[in-house]
Amino acid sequence: MNNNKTSRRKFHWQWLAVPLLIAAAFGSVSAATCEGLADLKLPNTTITMAQSVAAGGFTPTAGSAAPYKNLPAFCRVTGVIKPTSDSEIKFEVWLPAANWNGKFHGIGNGGFAGSISYGGPAGGLSGALARGYATASTDTGHSGGDASWALGHPEKIVDYGHRAIHEMTEKAKMIIKAFYGDGPKRSYFASCSNGGRQALMEAQRYPNDYDGIIAGAPANAFTHILTGFAWNMKNTLADPASYIPAKKLKALEAAALAACDSRDGVKDGVLDDPTKCGFDPAVLLCKGEESDECLTEKQVAALKKIYAGPRDAKGQLIVPGFTPGGETGPGGWTAWITGATPASALQFFFSTQAFKNMVYNDPNWDFKSFDLERDSKLANEKLAPALNATDPNLKAFSARGGKLILYHGWNDAALPPVNTINYYQSVVTKLGKRKASNSVRLFMAPGVQHCAGGPGPDNFGQMVTSGQSDPQHDLTLALERWVEQGVAPDQVVATKRAAAQRTRPLCPYPQVARYKGSGSTDDAANFKCVMEQPGQNRRR
């Protein structure tokens, strides 16, 4: 994607145009008052409000104001950007009234987006503001949590795909310069899931937008992931006998852990790398009457397909399957793959919404009609140019000193962890190992579900909101130190706060954390990052 000469020429001229747009916008503006920003003229943009907000005075349009009571005073700017006649990109920029750290932090969106990310007590605009950043968020051009907005609106799909975040970023920087009299010294973006896809879009398409980017569990191979979702639903729901009830997941996870938990030297309920497990779900085949402790032949067959991932007619893997060992828990398979009841899982929601409203433009489309070969090709043809962030060519981003941190939880039941490994390896191949090591790091998090949660240590500052002060424990601060001081992160210590606190080092891939052999296995100090010899091939 975007590797042809025409695309490169187009983006080259976009980059050159940015300084000209900024110069035009600020020809007569410097260090404006907050309310004065309402008169700021920006390309294709209408400022709808510029308002000073007292400390603790922010009140959201919905929900309680209590989570925002500790926010400092800030200038709140809202607006609408219309790069096309069918665009309606709403955005907000929050500017600290005092103690600005001189930096900008862009905020991403999960799922189908559709709202400004305020963030509550931590996260979103409020989390970034609390840490001294000027910050911005967008609804990406539509309202609501489903994909009905996309039906018959190809330009809105482009806005959602990549244009809205870029437009928000450009306009936010202009507003920052107008308010403070100077633009941000550094710009950062951190988000997860669809926000991780947005992050990679920025690195690939708009390498001048951000100096440092964190992309968590990215849905970057968007059309392939949707195809995988539909594949899973077809295999578990088309024949009711193939459906795997949520009540069987406990036995399934227990069998996977029994097979592989101790292979890393520590039996702790977490698989350090499930792709090396070799777990065969056929061990759960019912020997007699069906129960919650066993699987039928059709359920085993469906499960093997979920683990393996879909392949096209030529045998090429479309998207990696899901890994064993993380089936239970609030963010596990009940939420994403099986559902509490048939057709209630989030994979069902996202795949049917996308195929109805983005691929087929038919609100009556039925997942039972899904055909892997036909529909995967059609999804790619219609949506890949706008939605897929799979381009490994990060040369422009790397050349200007940009730094990218990827992370993914091994227990993710929403987006396949191996997909992120495969993307990282494609970047290494494209850039070469030396250049890649200077600009890209991947951290795989054992036992962590989608973005957070799960039995593994899941608090490692993956968002701007962690409140940590040590780059060894905070990906955000580690990224900033890498960008600003040239110190690449050699590990990040993750924390799990439960009845007893557990810490573990997350190592830059392909290194893994191994127990030193003495001391508490709940203390990261007793582990070290090592390069393990290649074992069983990953599912690719």
Catalytic residues: 193, 412, 450
Gap between the Cα atoms of 208 and 219, Å rounded: 22
Listed residue (428, 405, 404) closest to 507, CA to CA: 405
Instruction: Please report where in the chains the tokens 């048939």 appear, as a residue.
Output: 342
Distance CA 214, CA 324 (A): 26
DSSP state of 433: H
Beta strands in 67-117 (DSSP E): 74-81, 89-96, 103-107
In terms of Cβ atoms closer than 10 Å to its own Cβ (0-12, 13-18, 19+), residue 290 is exposed
- What is the H or E stretch that residue 430 is in? helix 417-431
Q: Which helix (H) or strand (E) holds 441?
A: strand 440-445
Q: How many CB atoms lie within 10 A of CB 346?
A: 18
- Whether cis (ω within 30° of 0) applies to the bond prior to 324 is no
H/E segment holding residue 512: strand 512-515
Kindly state the tokens that stand for 83. Answer: 């790069």
> What's the token pair of residue 346?
């989030």
d(CA 356, CA 188) in angstroms, rounded, equals 35
308 with 275: CB under 8 angstroms?
no
Bridging pattern class, strands 89-96 and 74-81 = antiparallel
Cα separation, 493 vs 511, whole angstroms: 14
In the three-class reduction of DSSP (H, G, I as helix; E, B as strand; rest coil), residue 494 is classed as: strand
Longest dimension (CA), the chain: 81
> Could you tell me which of 27, 157, 145 has the C-alpha nearest to residue 86?
157
Q: Are 108 and 191 in contact (CB under 8 A)?
A: yes
Angle between helices 222-237 and 297-308 (to 10 degrees): 180
